Amino acid sequence: MSGSFLFPPLFAIPYRTDATLARAPSGVLNARHPLARWLLANAETLAEAFPASFEQVFRPLRSVDAINTALERIARRRPDLAPPPGAYLRQDEKGRWWSR
């Protein structure tokens, strides 16, 4: 996880549950989820190529809609850096984030 130094401590931890669960209401990202794996693997490039998205969307991870919009923007502008389909999120009625 080369880019972990660019994120706050405990940004992502491996959950023991389904890898399609991205985030529980606790606010910590599941390190086994495709979004976390993609963010950590590409953090340095994202911070350099998309600094506003990185600082305003990916570091705080507050909004599923904002995350999905940023992922779509990156996929359009940098197809070589496109996130995997499982990185896109939906939120359930209990506030948990899942792969779409």
The DSSP result for 44-92, as a single string, is HHHHHH-HHHIIIIITT---HHHHHHHHHHHHHH-GGGPPPGGG-EEE-
Note the pLDDT of residue 56. Answer: 93
> Is 6 part of a structural domain of the chain?
no
Which domain range does residue 54 map to? Answer: 16-99
- The reply to whether 7 falls in a domain is no
- Domain for residue 76, yes or no? yes
pLDDT confidence of residue 3: 85
Q: pLDDT tens, position by position, for the chain (100 residues)?
A: 568 899 999 899 999 989 999 999 888 999 999 999 999 999 999 999 999 999 999 988 999 999 999 999 999 999 999 999 999 999 999 999 999 9
- How many structural domains are present in the chain? 1
Is 3 inside a domain boundary?
no
**What element of type H or E holds 18?**
none
Query: Would you say residue 54 lies in a domain?
Result: yes
Q: Does residue 4 lie in a domain region? A: no
Give this prediction's pTM.
0.93
- In the prediction, which pLDDT does 27 show? 86
